[in-house]
Structure 1
């Protein structure tokens, strides 16, 4: 009997074709997260589900004996899935690490350059017809070459960001990580305290996974350690930052600016952030490249295939 698979959002054609070659596939047409009722039904009616960000499989949605035996998450972050509750109910959980590393690191560099060089502000000026021509003191930003980058979370993505900053811009790298990193992938200095990294860096990039331990890791105290001419970049998860504290720090001029690809209550973005010219806002573009999304999907399908073939899944969480 061919396993029934629910794909919760439209995916690239290449991925859908690969899934249909192995499973009886149902694709949900909406691009919004599953409702609680939809999640409960999915677990009862399908042998497998390929969910993604926003599909909040909390502990209370798992029935005692679900038909579904695997959630093959599309994405590396899986904080929207209660993996402990899933496994207690007999449901395997996998993700797609590795595929997202370089694309997410690229977005970090994009945000750093856009924010420090005031590119978003300048683009809005041109589109509004307000540009009167070049002059020597127009939109003066921070020259990032040779500056100090602080990385919070030196995993795959953190290391990829550090490599780009060092090789492309000659930046010095300091970082905070809860565990000791013996090989940061280049010349980088690990600091014992988060506040020390925040204080030392001209640009701080957040690259930690979302977890109870990292919720509001960047709070008022952490932001208070930054200098008034420094910038915060977040390509991790929105709730790593206390958004209200960030808004206050920006409004009071305690940091120079911020570049955000993720938000605490995504997709809701506070009007206060939208109103600030020194803030770059992207719509969660971290992995938004055709090849990357295809690779993520193929990795999810490979996890599903391995599971139903009776082997060990390549990427358990």
Structure 2
């Protein structure tokens, strides 16, 4: 095989799988609505089951549901016949996946699911199959062909099933009004959790680390404060601690270019009035957005009265893995 043959094979695979997913669009109708309604009314958990490749896809669908506000887990149908069926309660909903709709291990547990009176969502590639007919809702994930040139290995069919599972999870997410904060509680580890859970208050410089000077001091005193605190800026406050402005390394370059005497000029005369600021309760990710928009590396943190309570610097966000 040469490179052109390999590339052609890859492109053909992607085209077939793209078409398989596109074919799902006209099938999103009454059965999909019934499936959503069953899950939204569920007082327990969504139990996903499937055999072989369908089982692997089922595990991913269960994980996606669980991380987007729908408590869910996967049960292997073979293990279910040997004790694990006890994991399913009358409060649950079952999603059973089988491309043929005739998978023996799945059909074996159907009578027990029906006996429990648990709503059943069937996801198959054969609308006339036993599993499809048994479902309270049937999600049709049939494909005209597999990407496998032998039309045997599950490829396009598993892609279509996964896409249908994502469609279900996202529809439920939106129906529940799931927020980024809700998502974060399911993902506390790693960069995602840090971006969504950490607040400015968790990371800001405060106390002795806080660079601040009164508006009456000369520029030289402000420069000494900036050097001591090492954040490349200092807040300028009044006698009550209310922020009046900010002076940064960038302001210093402009002052030097203007020819002002840095030994005598008061900081209030050369500071940037107001200055960019953020609330302590804001998400750290919001601080990143503000810095990027203003092309700055620090934000003053103020309370409701405008008093300085902290400074958050880009380095703080980098160390925390938020950026």
TM-score bin (small chain): under 0.3
Higher helix share: 2
Tell me the TM-score normalized by structure 2: 0.23
> More relative contact order in 1 or in 2 (CA 8 Å, sep 6+)?
1
TM-score (norm 1): 0.24
The structure with more radius of gyration: 2
